[in-house]
Structure 1
Amino acid sequence: MIGAESAANAKWMVEGQWIEYAKEFGAMCFYVEHRFYGKSHPTQDLSTKNLIYLSSQQALADLAYFIDNVNIGYKFSNDTKWIVFGGSYGGSLAAWMRAKYPHLVYGAVSSSGPLLAEIDFQKYFVVVANALKDYSQKCVDTIAEANKELHILLHHIVGQQQIEKKFKLCDPIDPGHTKKTDISNLYETLADNFASIVQYNKDNRQSSKTANITIETVCDILVDEKIGRPIDRFAYISNMLLNATKEKCLDYRYSKMIRELRNVTWASEQAEGGRQWMYQTCTEFGFFQTSTAQPNLFSDTFPVDFFIQQCIDIFGPRYDINLLKSGVTRTNILYGALNLQVTNVVFVHGSVDPWHVLGMVNSSNPQAPAIYINGTAHCADMYPSSENDMPQLKEARIQIKGLIKQWLKNSCDIYTSSCDTYTPHV
């Protein structure tokens, strides 16, 4: 299992679908934490000069050295087959690992992995809006109305005081101190409430504090006129999530966010992954989830410039749009983006997950098929199964197991397509 942009959780060594596959095939399991995340501290601190050693390329090289050393340490025979698993960014790394180190990795299950690096990820919120709309058009209409009311209230003092009270803001909206970036940050934070609910909808994350809050939950609240005006229902959702995560108030100050992300010590709250992932998005991937394509729904206040400014404010003036453009171009050239040429990889995506837009959802290569699961969310195939899982999710897991079985059964030439293949129903 390939760790991604967070600490390695020991629960993955005892539960999750990859453990079920391991039991099926009698496999030994290893879980490798990504350099700079969790407790993997390769440098004295997280200063920008040290973060130059943080990249997907370095992470892949770490995995290669790990596998090579384990092969030696355990005296594994030459025909030992390594299968790598990963979800989200870890899913990208799994596919890239098979492509870059085919002599070490025999197969890869890439779950919800974005393969195309893109600076302005406009379609993210398009998928979010469509997922909400599929459940209820009125749900989406209410969000649009609520944002209109929010916009009106922001323009006079009494309205600003109402917003402060309704949304439990940590700081009042002060015309003398509140900046444009603060308002953008407020809009983005409120939009992210819906994004996170859609992205992880019914994914069986048992440890999540918000796992029981689904698309149905929020849409049923948004269409309930007994709660109040659209903005009251909007605030109800925000406060419900604050309570679930045990947050006392909604922090929207841009300067506070930047100050926390500038902290270079390993003891900081952001050191588990926030500052590090921001660095990778500012240098390798972009992935900025902007409101540009949905201005009437989530406002037009957080375009790509808002995120580029964060890169500059956190890491310095060098980290501007030009540096990011070159970084994204480099990433797509290195790995092939959506033209990745590889065998013994299965790409798994859910239709509700906004990240599927940047992933492989169709494939004409029988040795690297794509499984696109209608109605499921981010990395849903990886989590422990449930009797409530959709039939198509259950079927996807069976198909993935069939592919792994075929990889282990065949002795394919990694540079040709001369072996028999198992073709799933995709």
Structure 2
Amino acid sequence: MRRVFTVLFLALFAVSAVEASRRSRLFQKFYKKPANYDAEVIPKNIEVVWYKNMRLDHFTWGDTRTFDLRIMWNNTFYQPGGPIFFYTGNEGAVSTFEVATGMMFDLAPMFNASIIFAEHRFYGATQPFGNQSYANLANVGYLTSEQALADYAELLTELKRENNQFGKTFHKDSQVISFGGSYGGMLSAWFRQKYPHIVKGAWAGSAPLIYMHDGGVDPGAFDNITSRTYVENGCNRFILANAWNAVLNLSSTDSGRAWLNNNTVFKLDPRTPIRNQTDGWNLNAYMREAIEYMAMVDYPYPTGFLEPLPGWPVTVACGFMNATGESFSDQDLVTAVANAANVYYNYNKNASFTWCIDFNICGDQGTGGLGDDALGWPWQECSEIIMAMCASGGANDVFWSECGDNIYDTLKQGCVSIFGSMNWTTANWNIDAVKTLYGYDLSGSSNLILTQGHLDPWSGGGYKVDQTNTARGIYVMEIPGSAHHLDLRQPNTCDPNTVVNARYQIQHFEDFFLQRKAFPAFPWCTIFKHPYLKNH
């Protein structure tokens, strides 16, 4: 998807496969399965249970095959009559969602709630066909959002049955609030929309619900917001916008290649030297991935679930890209952006770390260890959740123009490159699937909390605040100073006040959803005392 406009037509076909896998990795940012899956660390505050004999196909009675679905729950705070806080698991091992969604544990004591995380079919340990789950289209074809939502609906129904398979029955009137971030947020919102008799309300954080065909979102929104985040943090836009051509210039000459292969800024893996301009494109993709990931996880405190990062990593990265003016050599430009990329890839300054820039050879150093389910999200993007996103360059963003005449042709090439060996064709996808299955119009919806972080590139694919409809309990919130579903993470003393305030409001919205109390006009400007703010 991402190529410098001056050489787009020469490079598009050569790099389409690399780009297709890169854009899929953007959505797999948090939820990677450990490389040694047997050593997966299960958080101590949850218990692992399994739903036995989940239907493989909920939409036909002729297929009676089943599989086991993994669940993690915490009932420490639950009291009879309390609600169920239900996380709609997304594209990875369910244990990683528990780590990234600490807000559920913060709210549960206030509501006497049970906390349940359900693993998405075909991810983590929930493999319907075992190690053959991704062997062919006939198997992986059961990986769909609607099948996953039906799994969740059946699970919650079972939990309210007397003498159920878990040996723990929730009251039939126990209310359910669904939670989810990113794709999990999409599922959370769709769960409320498709199963309103099961789910009372939903909190969907950073969910790009309309970033699909006919959703009304500019394909360049992601990269526009990424660029804005860096410029607002003091980066010189010229440096970022021109570094990519600088790489291509250097990779086209003997002296330039010599410098790229032997400099003091980064050390290339011996398996992936710069030999030609195609390798230059690989270097661009590698550095760009770091820039985009840091925009997504621009959190105010150090984190380590992708790579060890400092607090506010974009600000740190901009320290290398804030020189003024436009008089830079190609080496100057590459040095600046490479130093910024090192904030992501090697912040701890490991002297032996090397840049392996060809993902086909080394895998993805940005989200290493995706495990056997690494094909999961690419499959979903090549079947029903087909996101129309690309950079435009120029005034829109600091990257290169890559949209071409038809973005779906480019996406199709990527799908063929990934699934062509399984005989994938365009008969296996539907670019209007989300529009048909769930729709983009909120007029028939209710009890939805849709949060977007102002810093988050994915926020461009979500609803805007003017879609708020308090009469139906629809609250669309753009949170200043917040990156990718920061609002769902464990509260931290470094969180911006805007995030603290948003969480406080959301707690009131959930009170309203559960009808624990009437919801008056919100006191936007008043002094208050509340356990949440007292504790955090």
Report the count of equivalent residues: 403
What is the TM-score with the length of structure 1 in the denominator? 0.84
- Which residue of the other structure, out of 215, 229, 234, is the alignment partner of 2:332? 229
Aligned to 2:184: 90
Task: Please say if residues 128 and 354 of structure 1, whose CA atoms lie closer than 8 Å, have aligned partners that are also in contact.
Answer: yes
CA deviations 1:108-140 (Å, max 9, x no partner) are 11111111142683211111011111122x532
Q: CA deviation at 1:88?
A: 0.4
Q: CA 1:41/1:289 → structure 2, altered by over 3 Å: closer, same or farther?
A: same
Once residues 321 and 411 of structure 2 are traced to their aligned partners in structure 1, the CA distance between those partners, rounded to angstroms, is 29
Task: Please say if residues 7 and 38 of structure 1, whose CA atoms lie closer than 8 Å, have aligned partners that are also in contact.
Answer: yes
Aligned to 2:316: 217
Aligned to 2:419: 315
Q: Does 1:399 align with 2:505?
A: yes
Once residues 136 and 261 of structure 2 are traced to their aligned partners in structure 1, the CA distance between those partners, rounded to angstroms, is 36
SS at structure 2 position matched to 1:84: strand
Q: Which runs of 5+ in 2 are unaligned?
A: 1-86, 325-330, 526-536
Q: Does 1:336 align with 2:425?
A: no
- Which residue of the other structure, out of 47, 50, 56, is the alignment partner of 2:145? 56
Q: CA 1:104/1:233 → structure 2, altered by over 3 Å: closer, same or farther?
A: same
Once residues 420 and 376 of structure 1 are traced to their aligned partners in structure 2, the CA distance between those partners, rounded to angstroms, is 26
Letter in structure 2 aligned against 1:378: H
Q: CA deviation at 1:10?
A: 6.4
Q: CA deviation at 1:307?
A: 4.4
SS at structure 2 position matched to 1:222: coil
Q: CA 1:185/1:71 → structure 2, altered by over 3 Å: closer, same or farther?
A: farther
Letter in structure 2 aligned against 1:275: L
Q: Which runs of 5+ in 1 are unaligned?
A: 262-267, 412-418
Q: Does 1:151 align with 2:248?
A: yes
- Which residue of the other structure, out of 355, 365, 368, is the alignment partner of 1:250? 355
Once residues 6 and 106 of structure 1 are traced to their aligned partners in structure 2, the CA distance between those partners, rounded to angstroms, is 25
Q: Does 1:115 align with 2:212?
A: no
Aligned to 1:298: 399
Q: CA deviation at 1:284?
A: 1.8
CA deviations 1:396-420 (Å, max 9, x no partner) are 0001100111111269xxxxxxx96
Q: CA 1:165/1:337 → structure 2, altered by over 3 Å: closer, same or farther?
A: farther
Q: CA deviation at 1:421?
A: 6.7
Q: Does 1:356 align with 2:459?
A: yes
Letter in structure 2 aligned against 1:144: A
Once residues 205 and 6 of structure 1 are traced to their aligned partners in structure 2, the CA distance between those partners, rounded to angstroms, is 22
SS at structure 2 position matched to 1:292: coil
Q: Does 1:278 align with 2:378?
A: yes
Q: CA 1:203/1:281 → structure 2, altered by over 3 Å: closer, same or farther?
A: farther
Which structure features the higher share of helix residues? 1
Which deviates more from structure 2 when the two are superposed, residues 144-153 or residues 33-42? 144-153
Q: CA 1:425/1:97 → structure 2, altered by over 3 Å: closer, same or farther?
A: farther
Q: CA deviation at 1:285?
A: 2.0
What is the TM-score with the length of structure 2 in the denominator? 0.68
- Which residue of the other structure, out of 253, 270, 275, is the alignment partner of 1:174? 275
- Which residue of the other structure, out of 184, 187, 193, is the alignment partner of 2:290? 193
Q: CA deviation at 1:298?
A: 1.9
SS at structure 1 position matched to 2:109: helix
CA deviations 1:227-247 (Å, max 9, x no partner) are x82221222223343324979
Q: Does 1:12 align with 2:12?
A: no
Once residues 112 and 155 of structure 2 are traced to their aligned partners in structure 1, the CA distance between those partners, rounded to angstroms, is 21
Q: CA 1:373/1:143 → structure 2, altered by over 3 Å: closer, same or farther?
A: same
CA deviations 1:289-309 (Å, max 9, x no partner) are 523345873233686455432
Q: CA deviation at 1:18?
A: 1.1
Letter in structure 1 aligned against 2:345: L
- Which residue of the other structure, out of 30, 33, 39, is the alignment partner of 2:125? 39
SS at structure 1 position matched to 2:444: coil
